[in-house]
């Protein structure tokens, strides 16, 4: 089927820590769900350092349960984490583990973090996902666990960095913005599943309210779109090696909710 008319069926979001998808991607994901796409939700890291109250093993269990609850709110299949916090390095074993998930899920759309962010874990997650997606069709690159190589077009989209600036405080803007005004309340409900992060984010990053911070970033992206009240910004990864340039599944499915900048 021609790339321009093939209808995408599966979207996968790959974040770093439990709640990263909720902050920067969930509004778009709800819209994709509304349009009939199958969703998958994966955090590479398990969140075991995001606390000053609990031990590593205890918080890992807590955050796994919170992420599973969030995935249920979204209506997405939950995929298990594969690394500890701050141990998300660009490592070939992590690439192969993410690759196994991609080959099993076979997504048409892959949503991933920004390549330029304030935190190394986030940027390394993006790099891992980029490489894993690039190797989906290569049978001689064996995933962990082994999954059969898949030959299909896929498109990668980078979310805006948390805080909307890179590590040098430069503003990052999207290629296009998705109107998430209609999904912002559901996005808040999903983020609120991460109860353990309320005190942690207030203490460590001086966020008076993590839910309000999410809304404030959504409103800022709405302002950046120059059109929407709330929005999420996206940067399309270079399609070379992934698909024909004409294959733009996210832009096609959400054409009525997008403005280009």
Structurally, how many domains does the chain consist of? 1
Q: What is the pLDDT of residues 175-196, one digit of tens each?
A: 999 999 999 999 999 999 998 8
Give domain status of residue 5, yes or no.
no
Give domain status of residue 3, yes or no.
no
Give domain status of residue 186, yes or no.
yes
Give domain status of residue 2, yes or no.
no
- If you search the block for the tokens 């009939």, which residue do you land on? 36
Say how far apart CA 50 and CA 17 lie, in whole Å.
9
Query: Residue 146 is part of a domain; what is its CATH number?
Result: 3.40.50.10320
Supply the range of the domain harboring residue 114. 10-260
Say how far apart CA 154 and CA 27 lie, in whole Å.
21
Give domain status of residue 101, yes or no.
yes
Report the percentage of the chain scoring pLDDT > 90: 88
Give domain status of residue 120, yes or no.
yes
Give domain status of residue 53, yes or no.
yes
Which pair of structure tokens corresponds to residue 102? 């991609």
Give domain status of residue 4, yes or no.
no
Q: What is the pLDDT of residues 32-67, one digit of tens each?
A: 999 999 999 999 999 999 888 899 999 999 999 999
Q: What is the pLDDT of residues 198-239, one digit of tens each?
A: 766 555 554 448 888 999 999 999 999 999 999 999 999 999
| Structure letter (DSSP) for residue 140 | T
| Structure letter (DSSP) for residue 241 | T
């Amino acid at each position: 089927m021609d790339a321009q008319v093939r209808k995408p069926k599966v979207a996968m979001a790959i974040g770093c820590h439990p709640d990263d998808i909720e902050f920067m991607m969930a509004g778009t994901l709800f819209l994709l769900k509304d349009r009939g796409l199958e969703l998958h939700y994966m955090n590479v890291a398990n969140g075991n350092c995001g606390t000053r109250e609990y031990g590593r093993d205890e918080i890992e269990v807590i955050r796994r349960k919170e992420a599973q609850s969030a995935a249920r709110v979204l209506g997405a299949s939950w995929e298990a984490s594969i690394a500890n916090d701050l141990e998300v390095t660009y490592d070939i074993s992590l690439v192969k583990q993410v690759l196994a998930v991609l080959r099993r899920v076979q997504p048409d759309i892959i949503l991933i973090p920004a390549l330029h962010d304030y935190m190394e874990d986030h940027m390394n997650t993006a790099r891992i996902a980029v490489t894993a997606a690039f190797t989906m069709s290569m049978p001689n690159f064996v995933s962990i666990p082994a999954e059969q190589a898949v030959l299909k077009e896929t498109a990668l989209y980078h979310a805006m960095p948390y805080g909307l600036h890179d590590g040098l405080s430069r503003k990052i803007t999207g290629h296009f913005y998705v109107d998430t005004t209609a999904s912002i309340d559901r996005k808040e409900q999903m983020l609120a599943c991460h109860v353990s992060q309320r005190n942690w984010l207030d203490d460590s990053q001086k966020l008076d309210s993590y839910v309000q911070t999410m809304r404030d970033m959504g409103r800022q992206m709405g302002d950046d779109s120059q059109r929407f009240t709330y929005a999420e910004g996206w940067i399309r990864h270079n399609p070379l090696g992934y698909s024909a340039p004409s294959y733009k599944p996210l832009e096609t499915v959400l054409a009525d909710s997008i403005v280009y900048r």
